[in-house]
Amino acid sequence: MRVLVTDNVAQEGIEVLRRAQLEVEVRNKLAEDELCEIIPRFDGIIVRSATGVTARVIDRAGNLKIIGRAGVGVDNIDVPAATARGIIVVNAPDGNTMAATEHTMALMLSLARNVPQADARLKSGAWDKKAFVGVELRNKSLGVLGLGRIGSGVARRAYAMEMDVLACDPYISEERARELGVTLLPLADVFRRSDFITIHMPLTKETHHLLDDAAFALMKDGVRIINCARGGILDEEALYRAMTTGKVAGAALDVFEVEPQTTSPLLGLPNFIGTPHLGASTREAQVSVAVDVAEEVIAALHGELVKNAVNIPSLKPDVLKDVGPYMGLAEKLGRFHAQLLIGRLNRVEITYSGELAAFRQVEPLTTALIKGVLDNILQERVNYVNALLIAKNRGIEISQTRVDRAEDYTGLIAVKVISSEGEHELAGTLFRGDDARVVFINGYRVDAVPEGHMLIISHTDKPGIIGAVGTLLGEHEVNIAAMQVGRKRIGGKAVMVLTVDSPVPPETLEQITTVDGIMAVRMVSL
């Protein structure tokens, strides 16, 4: 079997492939036309970030069984096209964990002791000790936003340096936090109490500009900020204002909202440290990701299980025949729940009823559902192979029950999510074999197609509410495509589900909450 390796993947990974008796061809700087021409000869391909494995390339890849990304992000790979062709896509999510963890610590220490500024001053010919008096990390409070692999690694090292480690992560258990020596707190309390704040969260619509003017206003005067996660989580204009007023004593960014970045006004501030996205740039990390992805490629080509699949791994034909039609529904129910979730996730209870109860295996559906819950709220990449392990490591309990009867439905997936702030339930089914529907929300019967942008509104069942909401949306040029209302009795509580053509702006959501009788409003995008 033949494997194509591009983008200067570390030699150590190539040697792993050759020791497994695979024929390896190394080609760098391949344009799409060149790749389309040669890809039919290969059973596997390994890339870094430069080579694009597009739908056109995949369409030409008649023998391709696996695409390996020597790194984390797979933006340069058309994953849906690969999945449609039955090609496994794998990455190496753990290979750069230590590099990013250590880079965070390096920036934190540099901030505390003014290392880059003192170095630059000395090299300019000035011996200036008084200008660079620093602070110690010992006995300072470190706020860690996100306790994934990297955040947890930073927390452990900060604890060893006698820092008081605070953290905000609603998807990790108190028990796991205690093991790390971390105190879990709400986000606002982390802002208020921290001397240093380090970001280790994914960039989502919820975390975009999470650190803005309002967030900086909550923080201590003289706080120091580090971001080695994703650009865009931190509002750079707000950071600039906070640094020029003295609210923020110093900041160190390895990532920017727009990259490459050489013109940001932050770069002109003496209390700012910037690095050009070096979090994964160590020799050891490059070797590690190359070896990791090479081993995954070998396993896949030998028909063995791969642990870092980005798309769905192969299922036996009889199992796929049963659960295949329900996989998309299960993942959408999980993604739906993730966007309704408030507080720390503690438990997920799944009930399979009707024909689902008779399936030989429903575990792939459970995995798809948990992947949907975790995928957009965690920094680490969640896939069908590691979703249950990630949930277990974070102390999230999962129960799975089968019930023969499914009321009026051929098959029904009912999911209850229990968090520190309460619980909510969803249930979904398939009509005519492949038409996914959400049919219950918190016990209220609805009939909603889980796709696009959906507004979920809990309210009192009384005249005028639907009209008021429609008027507000119309005033903000948000078009309603479909509407469902579920209630149990006249004048009681009800739930309104509006499918809209575009996301509803936050200020509009805030206005909707002021309508008399509205109890809660959530925006869900699928």
Q: What is the pLDDT of residue 385?
A: 67
335 included as an active-site residue: no
Looking at the structure, tell me whether residues 384 and 523 fall in a common domain: no
Q: Is position 148 within any domain? A: yes
Tell me whether residue 200 is one of the annotated catalytic residues: no
The pLDDT value recorded for residue 315 is: 62
Count the helices and strands in the chain (H runs, E runs): 17, 22
Domain count, the chain: 4
| pTM for the structure as a whole | 0.74
Residue in 277, 445, 476, 487 annotated catalytic: 277
Judge whether 304 and 383 are in contact, CB under 8 Å: no
| 235 & 123 share domain | yes
The answer to whether residues 412 and 490 belong to one domain is no
- Which two structure tokens, joined as six digits, stand for 421? 């702030």
DSSP-assigned states of every residue in 8-37: T--HHHHHHHHHTT-EEEE--S--HHHHHH
pLDDT for 313 equals: 60
Task: Please check whether residues 82 and 118 belong to one and the same domain.
Answer: no
For residue 363, how many C-alpha atoms fall within 13 Å in the half-sphere facing its CB? 9
**What does the pLDDT read at residue 393?**
85
Write down the pLDDT at residue 330.
95
Q: Residue 375 has what pLDDT?
A: 83
Positive or negative: CA dihedral 279, 106, 227, 193: positive
Q: Which two tokens stand for residue 407?
A: 């009321």
Concerning whether 230 is annotated as a catalytic residue, the answer is: yes
Q: What is the pLDDT of residue 80?
A: 82
**Are 245 and 106 in a shared domain?**
yes
Phi, psi dihedrals of residue 193, rounded to the nearest 5° = -100, -10
466 and 382 inside one domain: no
Q: Within this chain, do residues 234 and 350 fall inside the same structural domain, yes or no?
A: no
Mean pLDDT, 10 residues at a time, the chain of 526 residues: 94 96 93 96 93 95 94 84 83 89 98 96 94 96 94 96 96 87 96 98 89 98 96 96 97 95 96 94 93 94 82 68 88 94 92 90 91 81 77 91 83 94 93 89 93 94 93 94 92 94 92 94 92
Residue 505 burial (CB count, 10 A): 13
Q: What CATH number should be reported for the domain holding residue 503?
A: 3.30.70.260
Which run of H or of E encompasses 168? strand 164-168
Asked if 376 and 335 touch (Cβ cutoff 8 Å), the reply is yes
Of 493, 495, 492, the residue nearest 484 (C-alpha) = 495
486 in any annotated domain: yes
Choose among 154, 117, 118, 120: nearest CA to 137.
Answer: 154
What does the block give as tokens for 63? 């023998």
Q: The domain containing residue 174 runs over which residues?
A: 97-274
Domain boundary among 451, 474, 496: 451
Is residue 131 assigned to a domain?
A: yes
- CA–CA separation, 63 vs 41, rounded Å? 7
pLDDT at 325: 87
Q: What is the CATH number of the domain that holds 59?
A: 3.40.50.720
Is 468 within the bounds of a domain? Answer: yes
Tokens of 524: 């869900």
pLDDT at 83: 77
Same domain, 104 and 236: yes
HSE-CB at 358 with a 13 A cutoff on CA atoms is: 7
Q: Is residue 74 one of the residues assigned to a domain?
A: yes
- Residue 279 is assigned to a structural domain of this protein: no
Beta-carbon contacts of 51 under 8 Å, excluding residues fewer than 6 positions away, are 6, 7, 30, 35, 76
Judgement on whether residues 217 and 361 belong to the same structural domain of the protein: no
| Residue 294 included in any domain | yes
List strand residue ranges (DSSP E) for 302-434, in order. 345-354, 397-403, 411-419, 422-431
Residue 112 and residue 256 in one domain: yes
How many residues are given for the chain? 526
Last residue in a domain, options 451, 481, 503? 451
Residue bearing tokens 């936050």: 506
Residues 69, 103, 224, 230: which is the catalytic one?
230
Domain-ending residue, one of 451, 468, 502: 451
Provide the residue type at 435 as one letter. D
Q: Do 69 and 194 sit in the same domain of this protein? A: no
Catalytic residue among 25, 162, 179, 259: 259
Residue 389 has a pLDDT of 81
User: Looking at residue 442, which CATH number applies to its domain?
Assistant: 3.30.1330.90
- Based on the fold, state whether residues 326 and 425 are members of the same structural domain: yes
Q: Is the dihedral of CA 103, 5, 375, 307 positive or negative?
A: negative
